[in-house]
Structure 1
Amino acid sequence: MIFSIPRLLTIGLLASVIPAHSIGRMERFRTVVTTDMEQDDLASLVRYILYTNELDTEGIIYTSSKYHWAGDGKGTKFFLPNREYNTSQTSWRWTGTRMIEDILLKAYAEIYPNLRVHDSAYPTAKDLLSKVKIGNIVFEGEMDKDTDGSNLIKSLLLDDDRRTLYLQAWGGTNTIARALKSISDQYSHTKQWRQLQTSISRKAVILASSFQDQTYVDYIAPNWPGLRVEDFATAYNTWGFNCNKGQGNVRALPKAHEYFTGAWIKANIQIGPLGRLYRSWLDGQHTPGDQLDVFGNYTLASAPGTWCKPLGPYDFLSEGDNVAFNPLLTTGLQDPSNPALGGWGGRSKLNSSAPELWRLVASETAANGSEVRGWTTDRWIAAASNEFAARMQWGLKSRYSGGNHAPEVRIVNGGKVKARAGQTVKLAARVSDPDRDAVTVSWWQYLEEGTYPGEVAVGGYNRNGASVKVPADARSGQTISVIVQATDDGEFPLTRYDRVIITVK
């Protein structure tokens, strides 16, 4: 992905070669997925499961939301105002608790031998199956009782693993809330409670694709104000439902539009045992139990009263929940401990310190120098889409040489550099590619990551370096963020990054 902006330098080179499978792996991020399993959750899981080699998946848990709940099986009726239904219901759009086990993991098992050829760190289907649990699914926001899902989260929060536990909320936060309440019920009357609550608040981070019930507002925020929560609802403009508003398919125009077209998705994503599960417009698929899943059928989708009118066959439909795991993916930019830094998951700002709530920034400076809404996630579309397609190919290729694998790039100077105003900083990068691909290296200023408010000149220096001129009016303590990105020339070009923060002395 090349950014044609004044502060960017592009240098083409043939990458140095390293042996296959020898790229060093950072400590994997520990995470739990909670999902209400509608059709866009399934699409997001298709993408997610191709990254289970890089993530330590501790749980995949069914939960409810305001859009999907199972009911208690006793005929009890439930109603909340301002929902999709206007009369009491015994269940709502519930898709069951077997889709992950019987459909997704079955397809994963078919491609697993090929995936292991490309990375031996992929877990087995049996291992992932052992992580699937049923959480609080009875009603929207139900958190009255402990469940297998909430008990799993509770045990992970209380265990001795010191890594951060990233709790993804693809549906409601109620199963997560139940786990926290169960801990509170058990320990709040003990002497160690304050220390334990502080420790858990530091250990857990909730990554919410949006708030799909009231349990964050009603329970988590007032009772666990020190627990960091990140709301990625704004990223729906990039990855959420792609609806026809009389304009046709205009998602990501102009430069990244290709990845939202039916031609690209049908050819590159909806292939093989796993890819065939992916959902797109008018693909003939339907999620059993969900009466509002009409997206696969033109007649039903275009009927009067439907909220999201159909696009062309196989056009992008929705992956509304990959927003919650994109911040964890290993790209070289990832630093989920600091939401203020950008990356495939976008860049966030602190919305509230008590409770600690972060939300994605509304806009960033795009290639033409203008402020563009959603650019914090839109800028990564091409890189993320090509990687998705490349990994889908891994599941179909039984030879390592048959797939494309990401390059690696590292800034030799390290991640932090100090310089005076007016000084020129020379940066250098080491680049390698496991496939012996040619790699294009680009350097650019991530304007919003730094505190210096203006553009900074980035020029060429030797074969794979950059020269950064610190502006004369830069003040002591201000920072400048410079990103190096390396993109190979594979069929689906793959990109990796590194970051250096220049601090003015």
Structure 2
Amino acid sequence: MFFSIPRLLTVALLASVIPAHAIGRTERFRTVVTTDMEQDDLTSLVRYFFYTNELDTEGIIYTSSKYHWAGDGKGTKFFLPNREYNTSQTSWRWTGTRTIEDILLKAYAEIYPNLRVHDSAYPTPKDLLSKVKIGNVVFEGEMDQNTDGSNLIRSLLLDNDRRTLYLQAWGGTNTIARALKSISDQYSHTAQWSHLQASISHKAVILASGFQDETYASYIATNWPDLRVEDFSTAYSTWGFNCNGGQGNVRGLPGQHEFFTGAWIKANIQIGPLGRLYRSWLDGQHTPGDQLDVFGNYTLASAPGTWCKPLGPYDFLSEGDNVAFNPLLTTGLQDPSNPTLGGWGGRSKLNSSKPELWQLVASEKTANGSEVKDWTTNRWVEAASNDFAARMQWGLTERYGEGNHAPEVRIVGGGRKAARAGETVKLAARVSDPDRDAVTVSWWQYPEEGTYPGEIAVTSNKSNGASVKVPADSKSGQTISVILQGTDDGEFPLTRYDRVIITVK
């Protein structure tokens, strides 16, 4: 049901003055996935379904990209330069519009009873199925026609839900662009247009796994410059295609390599009805319709001319689209309203204010003070991988006690504190674990989240608390970010966090 323009504006204007911290901690983020269903989209969807208990999934929509498009079914030829093809094509690497319904959701249905034992918030297979739509899939960048997918996004943008709508672009942004254009086509000639456009720009955020067609540059950036867009393509270095550049499998070295190895992937991820669909190197699987998906077969993958040479059997292949939903997952650090804060999705900086475009920072400091490229996403690999593996076990276990569940850690009076230069701030933690596991607590400074430029002394004590010495040379208004981290001792150790921002008086 669509609200009138005045009603929508009232809702949007009220939402614009509500601070992010006023929203309950357990409020689920509202999101739509748009996907071109490449091999790495499929593996990302496998992971995504295990986290649907934490997200309010409003849509899962097939779309096209420069790599995958269906054609119009009439033999119409299409060509753009600098693509994977050299001559006009009637379709390109199209994998169809039934994989989610006929394969992934059927596997999800098999494990759904077990998942609900561990969290009753998991949506039913029927509910998820009702969210699957076909968007703009005909050609790369096609946004001429309204589709079921674009109409769904349009209705969500115009409804009275006050929450931010996070639009994930795993393929091209064309279906999202079509939804925006359909609103513009209907209302841009009305007196209320400027207010309506502002309210929608405030409501929507695009989380893009790179820009896989030209519709962001050609339409969204120019016509909706105040709509926040976040580009996570540099996170491919952590989660994207893992190719042999002559050194073998070096992903995650030195400290987190285990989680990218075939031994770990095969034993802990490619198990069970849904996990078996996950893709890894030389696993014998193939995506129907995609002639360039040769990753499951050594002979084809190692042939001359292939761009990504094979690694060992079951080594990590690619999961390049989890980069778009990692920022939304419930870890204790998540705050997608503020891209400058770090978390499993990485920490971003403003690249352009008009249009509003955010991109991941290039590097961050490790615990020893070294500046390391891509550390903003690499630092979370172990925690995210163990979490995924633990959830994979949820799908295989019929009793709550047979699975591991994350601890809960909270900073007493956390959020924000104020202190003078030279003062010592005492911090206390509340720590619990649903499985009664032992929880190891640590405190650390996240220097890039604060504005004080130096290192801070954070001293832990035996009662899970810590003392933070505010430097004598700190200046009024500067901030210091301190993270509380708790990790249980389950088979797959699970980690949760909290943060406090200390502002110098």
1:230 aligns with 2:230: yes
- 2:217 maps to 217
Q: CA separation in 2, counterparts of 1:371 and 1:434?
A: 37
- 1:186 maps to 186
Aligned partner of residue 429 in structure 2, secondary structure? strand
Aligned partner of residue 502 in structure 1, secondary structure? strand
Q: CA separation in 1, counterparts of 2:44 and 2:25?
A: 24
Aligned partner of residue 44 in structure 1, secondary structure? helix
- 2:195 maps to 195
Q: For residues 51-450 of structure 1, what are the structure 2 equivalents within 5 Å? A: 51-450=51-450
Listed as ranges, the gaps of 5+ residues in structure 2 are 1-23
Contact kept? 1:348, 1:358, Cα under 8 Å: yes
Aligned partner of residue 89 in structure 1, secondary structure? coil
Q: CA separation in 2, counterparts of 1:319 and 1:111?
A: 21
Contact kept? 1:252, 1:260, Cα under 8 Å: yes
Q: CA separation in 1, counterparts of 2:498 and 2:208?
A: 26
Contact kept? 1:135, 1:149, Cα under 8 Å: yes
Q: Deviations over 1:58-85 (max 9, x none)?
A: 0000000000000000000000000000
TM-score (norm 1): 0.95
1:413 Cα offset (Å): 2.4
> Which letter maps to 1:252?
G
Q: CA separation in 2, counterparts of 1:124 and 1:283?
A: 29
Aligned partner of residue 418 in structure 1, secondary structure? strand
> Which letter maps to 1:87?
T
Q: CA separation in 2, counterparts of 1:114 and 1:172?
A: 34
Contact kept? 1:443, 1:482, Cα under 8 Å: yes
- 1:465 maps to 465
Q: CA separation in 2, counterparts of 1:189 and 1:215?
A: 23
1:462 Cα offset (Å): 4.5
Q: Deviations over 1:191-247 (max 9, x none)?
A: 111111000000000000100000000000000000000000000000000000000
> Which letter maps to 1:290?
D
Q: Deviations over 1:97-123 (max 9, x none)?
A: 000000000000000000000000000
1:369 Cα offset (Å): 1.4
Contact kept? 1:143, 1:174, Cα under 8 Å: yes
Q: CA separation in 1, counterparts of 2:370 and 2:87?
A: 47
Q: CA separation in 1, counterparts of 2:106 and 2:460?
A: 50
Aligned partner of residue 388 in structure 1, secondary structure? helix
Q: CA separation in 1, counterparts of 2:407 and 2:365?
A: 27
Q: CA separation in 2, counterparts of 1:168 and 1:409?
A: 29
Q: CA separation in 2, counterparts of 1:85 and 1:222?
A: 29
Aligned partner of residue 167 in structure 1, secondary structure? strand
Q: CA separation in 2, counterparts of 1:478 and 1:102?
A: 54
Aligned partner of residue 410 in structure 1, secondary structure? strand
- 1:480 maps to 480
Contact kept? 2:447, 2:454, Cα under 8 Å: yes
Q: Among the aligned pairs, what percent are the same residue?
A: 88
Q: CA separation in 1, counterparts of 2:442 and 2:193?
A: 50
- 2:11 maps to none
1:367 Cα offset (Å): 2.8
Q: CA separation in 1, counterparts of 2:25 and 2:386?
A: 21
Aligned partner of residue 115 in structure 1, secondary structure? helix
Listed as ranges, the gaps of 5+ residues in structure 1 are 1-23
Q: CA separation in 1, counterparts of 2:181 and 2:368?
A: 49
Contact kept? 1:208, 1:231, Cα under 8 Å: yes
1:460 Cα offset (Å): 2.2
- 1:49 maps to 49
Q: CA separation in 2, counterparts of 1:235 and 1:120?
A: 32
1:486 Cα offset (Å): 0.5
Q: CA separation in 1, counterparts of 2:501 and 2:414?
A: 9
1:168 Cα offset (Å): 0.0
Contact kept? 1:426, 1:461, Cα under 8 Å: no
Aligned partner of residue 293 in structure 1, secondary structure? coil
1:414 Cα offset (Å): 1.8
1:190 Cα offset (Å): 0.8
TM-score (norm 2): 0.95
Q: CA separation in 2, counterparts of 1:340 and 1:65?
A: 29
Q: Deviations over 1:385-414 (max 9, x none)?
A: 000000000000000000000000110022
- Mean Cα deviation higher: 410-419 or 258-267: 410-419
Aligned partner of residue 267 in structure 1, secondary structure? helix
Q: CA separation in 1, counterparts of 2:435 and 2:414?
A: 25
1:366 Cα offset (Å): 1.4
Contact kept? 2:442, 2:460, Cα under 8 Å: no
Q: Deviations over 1:244-276 (max 9, x none)?
A: 000000001011000000000000000000000
Number of residue equivalences: 482
Q: CA separation in 2, counterparts of 1:107 and 1:354?
A: 43
Q: CA separation in 2, counterparts of 1:30 and 1:460?
A: 37
Q: CA separation in 2, counterparts of 1:386 and 1:68?
A: 32
Aligned partner of residue 313 in structure 1, secondary structure? coil
1:148 Cα offset (Å): 0.1
Q: Deviations over 1:306-348 (max 9, x none)?
A: 0000000000000000000000000000000000000000000
1:368 Cα offset (Å): 2.8
Contact kept? 1:48, 1:322, Cα under 8 Å: yes
- 1:8 maps to none
1:461 Cα offset (Å): 3.3
Q: CA separation in 1, counterparts of 2:445 and 2:388?
A: 26
Q: Deviations over 1:158-207 (max 9, x none)?
A: 00000000000000000000000000000001111111100000000000
1:25 Cα offset (Å): 6.2
